[in-house]
């Protein structure tokens, strides 16, 4: 969680994922990657070399590598935590394939910054680079050979993966990094609750990494005692659902 | 230098704090997560998350919206329920030196009374904060805090079931908070805490709909400090029982303003979320102020801005 003001405006810290660490063996440096999408990230982007950044972390869980064939799926700035994961996977001797999508070519993470051993494939919504379309369109070609899938991107990307992708994914483990508005980052304010098959979880403390199949998506939600929302629920608002411009997507990564 | 304060001077058990800096309900959960990153034993008291008879899932997402120097929340009292709190959290609190006050919220007067009854004799619980001011629930909550008669009835019902000190947390979303305070005080409250959040909302202009899952939310943070301060000032002239000032306290200067307006103690809320050390920075700053100004007892500052 990163402070993005010297005072209290903007008030809240921004949840940013760790983009890279160095050296891998005993990290003493870390890099953050974020998109400038609001006042907080604008302030952060204006910091200069030598400035001190107020960080609280690392918080929450991380991706767990349990196989030798890793398929990474990044939607836009969702590439942020996947580069560190790719580096870790390679260091542990895994094969790493990266599918990277963005609205347009200039918003794609520069491939020369990726580790050379990563096999990467691109998509853009306007067709300016790689295949034209969404990154999830690439998934079918690669999911079969993957031992494990890791994804970071907007909720809409996970919705596609959850709704159409489960046959393609063939019951494979799919770890996704969830993004929900966070207040504190350490489980105190209950602002970032997420409905899962095992009840409500806090994205900051119990996540941000969840198994795709554990999350209750649109249409799956119930109203049981502690697993679903009962009151003050407007008929068509507030559910995790497909919206390409997720309002909380100020975080770089998830 | 004496920073200790007594929040329940008329209660047999009393509620003596080592210093006047508390955490506000809903901003440090049950204190157990917060205890992993800071030394909570240095605080005056911890107030636990608002707790109901049955577990509550709270409101749908989004639950938070940032505003200018403020935070709108519609968490909606997500909590584990009183029985789990007694079973799982109280034993941990019993090992702490810092007193823990349990914030309770009911759907009816009977429920408030039942919550108080269940907390009686539970080791690790040093007081009760009666939440008649949560704006984020469809039932009860703030409704009890909006009428002097209802607020008094809830207070009396809780008092009848407990020997613990009872703090009543008031809502600012009323016409005359002093009138509510007086009614609650006459019904036997040991102390008052004020203010809870100010009702507000945000609109998502892309979707053309309210931004928060709960439609409306409660505004907290530095944005509401002047409102809270004025209400503490008003209430301190209406009642004699201790007042806990709450609303945007982020620095020692803020805390001292509340104390000079008539508060005996302060609660730090939203600032905890941004800076887990906020309460400690407030405390240290108050100590420095007292040293600099040669104030020997914090009691000397309570309400000084109120007396002509």
DSSP per-residue letters across B128-163:
EEEE---TT-SSSTTHHHHSHHHHHHHHHHHHTT-S
Question: In 3-state terms, chain A is what percent helix, strand and coil (to 5)?
Answer: 20, 20, 55
Residue A134 has pLDDT above 90, yes or no: yes
Work out whether strand A29-32 and strand A209-211 pair parallel, antiparallel, or are unpaired: unpaired
Residue A230 has pLDDT above 50, yes or no: no
Q: Residue A239 falls within a domain, yes or no?
A: yes
Residues B5-60+77-197+221-306, CATH architecture = Alpha-Beta Barrel (3.20)
Among the partner residues B58, B62, B207, nearest to A181 by beta-carbon distance: B62
**pLDDT confidence band for B139 (50 / 70 / 90):** low
Residue A249 has pLDDT above 50, yes or no: no
Cα A241 to chain centroid, rounded: 16
Average pLDDT over residues B157-162: 98
Q: Where is average pLDDT lowest: A82-96, A209-223, B222-236? A: A209-223
Domain boundaries, chain B: 5-60+77-197+221-306
Residue A238 has pLDDT above 60, yes or no: no
Question: In 3-state terms, chain B is what percent helix, strand and coil (to 5)?
Answer: 35, 20, 45
Predicted local confidence at residue B24, as pLDDT = 97
Predicted local confidence at residue A145, as pLDDT = 85
Residues paired with residue A211 on neighbouring β-strands, in sequence order: A175
Q: Residue A190 falls within a domain, yes or no?
A: yes
Predicted local confidence at residue A27, as pLDDT = 82
Predicted local confidence at residue A229, as pLDDT = 37
Average pLDDT over residues B15-25: 98
A14 touches chain B (CB under 8 A): no
**pLDDT confidence band for B15 (50 / 70 / 90):** very high
Q: Residue A47 falls within a domain, yes or no?
A: yes
Predicted local confidence at residue B133, as pLDDT = 85
**pLDDT confidence band for A237 (50 / 70 / 90):** very low
Share above pLDDT 70 across residues of chain B, in percent, rounded to a whole number = 99
Q: Where is average pLDDT lowest: A142-151, A216-225, B58-67, B294-303? A: A216-225
Judging by beta carbons within 10 Å of its beta carbon (0-12, 13-18, 19+), is residue A28 exposed, middle or buried? Answer: exposed
Predicted local confidence at residue B140, as pLDDT = 63
**Alpha carbons A103 and A108: distance in angstroms, whole number:** 8
Average pLDDT over residues A171-179: 87
Predicted local confidence at residue A254, as pLDDT = 39
Cα B48 to chain centroid, rounded: 9
B window 268-287, beta carbon within 8 A of A: 270-276
* DSSP annotation of A164: T
Terminal Cα-to-Cα distance of chain A (whole angstroms): 11
CATH number of A201's domain: 3.40.50.80
Average pLDDT over residues B15-37: 94
Q: Where is average pLDDT lowest: A21-25, B74-78, B107-111, B156-160? A: A21-25
Predicted local confidence at residue A241, as pLDDT = 34
Sign of CA dihedral A128, A133, A137, A141: negative
CB contact under 8 A, A232 and B76: yes
Q: Give the chain B residue whose CA is nearest to the CA of A243.
A: B207
Predicted local confidence at residue A173, as pLDDT = 84
Query: Rounded to 5 degrees, what are φ and ψ at B130?
Result: -90, 115
Residue B291 has pLDDT above 50, yes or no: yes
Residue of B54, B63, B80, B270 to mutate, testing the A interface (most A Cβ within 10 Å of its Cβ): B63
Residue A213 has pLDDT above 50, yes or no: yes
Terminal Cα-to-Cα distance of chain B (whole angstroms): 26
Q: Please name which of B161, B162, B104 lies closest in space to residue B133, comparing C-alpha atoms.
A: B104
Q: Residue A10 falls within a domain, yes or no?
A: no
Structural domains of chain A, count = 1
Average pLDDT over residues B272-280: 95
Any idea what the Cα angle at residue A108 is, between residues A105 and A145, rounded to 5°? Answer: 115
Q: Give the chain A residue whose CA is nearest to the CA of B273.
A: A184
**Alpha carbons A134 and A28: distance in angstroms, whole number:** 36
Residue A192 has pLDDT above 80, yes or no: yes
Q: Give the chain A residue whose CA is nearest to the CA of B70.
A: A11
Q: Which domain holds residue A175?
A: 20-244
CB contact under 8 A, A189 and B73: yes
**pLDDT confidence band for A231 (50 / 70 / 90):** very low
A window 124-163, beta carbon within 8 A of B: none
Q: Residue A6 falls within a domain, yes or no?
A: no
Predicted local confidence at residue A163, as pLDDT = 80
Residue A247 has pLDDT above 50, yes or no: no
Longest dimension (CA), chain B: 57
More confident residue, B46 or A172: B46
Residue A22 has pLDDT above 80, yes or no: yes
**Alpha carbons B114 and B106: distance in angstroms, whole number:** 9
Predicted local confidence at residue A236, as pLDDT = 33
**pLDDT confidence band for A26 (50 / 70 / 90):** confident
A51 touches chain B (CB under 8 A): no
List of chain B residues whose C-beta atoms are within 8 Å of the C-beta of residue A192: 63-64
Q: Residue A99 falls within a domain, yes or no?
A: yes
Is there a cis peptide before residue B62, judged by omega within 30 degrees of 0? yes
B window 209-228, beta carbon within 8 A of A: 209-215, 221-222
Q: Kindly list the catalytic residues of B.
A: 134
Q: Residue A152 falls within a domain, yes or no?
A: yes
Any idea what the Cα angle at residue B248 is, between residues B245 and B249, rounded to 5°? Answer: 60
**pLDDT confidence band for B81 (50 / 70 / 90):** very high
Q: How crowded is residue B91: how many other Cβ atoms within 10 Å of its Cβ?
A: 12
- Kindly report the pTM of this predicted structure: 0.89
Sign of CA dihedral B209, B213, B218, B223: negative
Tell me how far CA of residue A153 lies from CA of A39, A68, A81, A130, B211, in angstroms: 21, 23, 10, 18, 21
Residue B216 has pLDDT above 50, yes or no: yes
* Helix/strand/coil for A246: coil
Residue B200 has pLDDT above 50, yes or no: yes
Q: Where is average pLDDT lowest: A66-80, A179-193, A210-224, B227-241? A: A210-224
Residue B157 has pLDDT above 60, yes or no: yes
Instruction: Return all residues near B300 (Cβ < 8 A) that are at least 6 apart.
Output: none
Predicted local confidence at residue A253, as pLDDT = 37
**Alpha carbons B73 and B64: distance in angstroms, whole number:** 5
Over residues A27-40, the pLDDT tens digits come to 889 999 999 999 99
Residue A226 has pLDDT above 60, yes or no: no
**pLDDT confidence band for A181 (50 / 70 / 90):** confident
Q: Please name which of B28, B52, B59 lies closest in space to residue B137, comparing C-alpha atoms.
A: B59
Predicted local confidence at residue A168, as pLDDT = 62
Predicted local confidence at residue A243, as pLDDT = 31
């Amino acid at each position: 969680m990163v402070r993005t003001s010297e005072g209290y405006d903007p008030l809240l810290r921004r949840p940013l994922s760790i983009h890279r660490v160095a050296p891998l063996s005993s990290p003493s440096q870390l890099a953050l990657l974020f998109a400038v999408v609001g006042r907080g990230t604008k302030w952060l982007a204006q910091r200069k070399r030598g400035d001190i950044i107020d960080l609280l972390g690392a918080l929450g869980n991380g991706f767990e590598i349990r196989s030798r064939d890793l398929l990474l799926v990044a939607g836009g700035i969702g590439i942020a935590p996947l580069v560190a994961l790719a580096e870790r996977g390679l260091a542990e001797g895994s094969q790493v394939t990266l599918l990277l999508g963005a609205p347009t070519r200039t918003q794609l993470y520069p491939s020369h910054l990726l580790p050379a051993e990563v096999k990467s494939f691109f998509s853009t919504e306007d067709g300016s680079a790689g295949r034209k379309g969404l990154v999830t369109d690439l998934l079918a070609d690669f999911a079969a050979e993957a031992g494990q899938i890791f994804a970071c991107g907007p909720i809409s990307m996970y919705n596609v993966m959850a709704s159409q992708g489960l046959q393609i994914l063939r019951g494979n483990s799919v770890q996704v990094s969830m993004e929900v508005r966070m207040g504190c980052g350490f489980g105190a304010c209950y602002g970032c609750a997420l409905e899962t098959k095992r009840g409500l979880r806090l994205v900051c403390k119990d996540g941000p990494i969840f198994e795709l199949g554990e999350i209750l998506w649109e249409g799956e939600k119930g109203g049981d005692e502690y697993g679903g929302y009962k009151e003050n629920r407007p008929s068509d608002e507030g559910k995790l659902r497909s919206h390409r411009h997720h309002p909380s997507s100020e975080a770089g990564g998830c | 230098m004496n920073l200790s304060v007594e929040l329940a001077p008329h209660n047999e058990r009393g509620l003596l704090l080592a210093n006047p800096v508390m955490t506000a309900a809903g901003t440090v959960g049950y204190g157990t997560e917060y205890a992993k990153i800071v030394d909570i034993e240095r605080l005056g008291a911890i107030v636990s998350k608002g707790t109901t008879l049955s577990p509550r899932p709270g409101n749908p997402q989004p639950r938070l919206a940032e505003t200018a120097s403020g935070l709108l929340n519609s968490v909606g009292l997500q909590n584990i329920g009183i029985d789990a709190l007694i079973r799982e959290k109280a034993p941990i609190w019993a090992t702490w030196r810092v007193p823990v006050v349990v914030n309770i919220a009911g759907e009816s007067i009977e429920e408030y009374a039942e919550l108080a009854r269940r907390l009686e004799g539970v080791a690790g619980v040093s007081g009760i904060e009666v939440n008649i001011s949560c704006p984020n629930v469809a039932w009860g909550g703030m409704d009890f805090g909006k009428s002097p008669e209802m607020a008094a009835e809830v207070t009396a019902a809780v008092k009848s079931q407990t020997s613990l000190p009872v703090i009543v947390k008031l809502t600012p979303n009323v016409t005359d908070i002093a009138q509510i305070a007086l009614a609650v005080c006459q019904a036997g409250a040991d102390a008052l805490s004020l203010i809870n959040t100010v009702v507000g909302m945000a609109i998502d202009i892309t979707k053309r709909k309210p931004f928060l899952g709960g439609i409306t939310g409660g505004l907290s943070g530095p944005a509401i400090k002047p409102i809270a301060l004025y209400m503490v000032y008003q209430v301190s002239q209406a009642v004699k029982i201790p007042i806990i000032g709450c609303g945007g306290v982020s620095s020692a200067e803020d805390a001292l303003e509340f104390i000079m307006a008539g508060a005996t103690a302060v609660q730090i809320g939203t600032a905890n979320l941004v800076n887990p050390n906020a309460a400690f920075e407030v405390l240290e700053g108050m100590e420095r102020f007292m040293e600099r100004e040669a104030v020997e007892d914090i009691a000397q500052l309570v309400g000084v801005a109120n007396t002509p």
